[in-house]
A and B are shown apart, each in its own frame.
Chain A
């Protein structure tokens, strides 16, 4: 052991690390926002669409869930340009994250949709609501409530998993830590500091999601008079 820790180097570069963390959060939040819309569309089509559509969406979900995220990133960044669709590293990272999150999100939402009692849907149809109206007004909110905890953990997995997009030199926290350690020759300090940031972000988002769950799903029940 002749390695002396110099964590003061980390303090000198804290601003870059925090900026990296902010990039990771922004990238993950954007991917989740777009991914959730795509996931909702997929879950909707998979539960109500024609057989061919259902089959195609099932194939997409299985393909994504049974291949590594890193390989998905490589396909989008390195393979797609051959078809004429060229993306820069940051765009490719975002697209890969959306494609990945949408598949997991669709599966989570589908299980939420399937948890809704048949009677609820029949009742809504009997009131003359269209299929879309039933989905939008009767099924979606309870399905999100059931799916919410799994979606929240999926977001944290997405955020932690996003560190591998540094491999295609997309800019986020791991890439920042990597470039800092290579200029300062302090690998352990910077990797450890960025791990601490990821851990803080994971715990922070978990707390935030629990809070949002309480405000959205628990408190209205407490304040609203019993029917």
Chain B
């Protein structure tokens, strides 16, 4: 006799939103640090450093997220000979994944700032870090915000893949409830609706910020 899909089951699925959110927040925060480093390395004068950072980005953008998770979860467990908990493996995988995408987005934002801004800052005898800190980044940040919010949507959606290795978040919670209630017709559309509720406002915000920058011509347009 299977359970019916009632209030308790509904609550279980809805409450799992917090794991999806927590994983996304941790991954985007830690990923921002990695991504910032990658973006800087990608725009450095040294060719070897640029090449290495490009390789990092290419690896994470050119392979499936699912396999990245497998490598960190099963692969690392086998190589290091220890059973890794799902949390650290999944968080680390999504952090490095976010780092690659954010690095590429922010590289574009930094490169969108005209060369003359760097030169003008150098003429004022600012050091490299001062040029970056006071001249380039304040401008690049404004261009970077809409695509960064857009990436957050992609990240939230992709955290669902962690369900495949058994990490309990929204999608996995849905699977578990389907297993006990045999009501996929109710549960999966509910899961989809919850993701939609998380992602849609962010998509709208990203689009709004983008058009606002376009209509105001943005900082790069005014230069």
Interface residues of A (CB under 8 A from B): 1-3, 62-63, 65-72, 74-75, 78-79, 81-83, 160-164, 166-167, 174, 177-178, 181, 187-188, 191-192, 194-195, 198-199, 202-203
The answer on a CB contact under 8 Å between B203 and A66 is yes
Interface residue B123 (Cβ < 8 Å from any Cβ of A): no
Could you say which interface size class chain B belongs to?
A: 35 or more
Minimum CB distance partner of A162 in chain B: B64
The answer on a CB contact under 8 Å between B67 and A194 is yes
Bound Cα distance A167, B188 (Å): 15
The answer on a CB contact under 8 Å between B62 and A203 is yes
Interface residues of B (CB under 8 A from A): 58-59, 61-68, 70-71, 74-75, 78-81, 153, 157-158, 160-161, 163-164, 171, 174-175, 178, 184-185, 188-189, 191-192, 195-196, 199-200, 203
Query: Does more than half of chain B's interface fall in helix, strand or loop, or is it mixed?
Result: helix
Minimum CB distance partner of A62 in chain B: B200
The answer on a CB contact under 8 Å between A68 and B58 is no
The answer on a CB contact under 8 Å between B200 and A66 is yes
The answer on a CB contact under 8 Å between A79 and B160 is no
Which of B75, B153, B188 makes the CB contact (< 8 A) with A71?
B188
Bound Cα distance A41, B64 (Å): 29
The answer on a CB contact under 8 Å between B78 and A188 is yes
The answer on a CB contact under 8 Å between A163 and B66 is yes
Given known A67-B195, A70-B171, contact A191–B200 (CB-CB < 8 A): no
Minimum CB distance partner of B160 in chain A: A68
Bound Cα distance A178, B69 (Å): 13
The answer on a CB contact under 8 Å between A78 and B178 is yes
Which of B61, B78, B81, B184 makes the CB contact (< 8 A) with A82?
B184
Bound Cα distance A7, B65 (Å): 22
Instruction: For B175, list chain A residues within 8 Å (CB).
Output: 74
Minimum CB distance partner of B193 in chain A: A67
Instruction: For A71, list chain B residues within 8 Å (CB).
Output: 160, 171, 174, 188, 191-192, 195
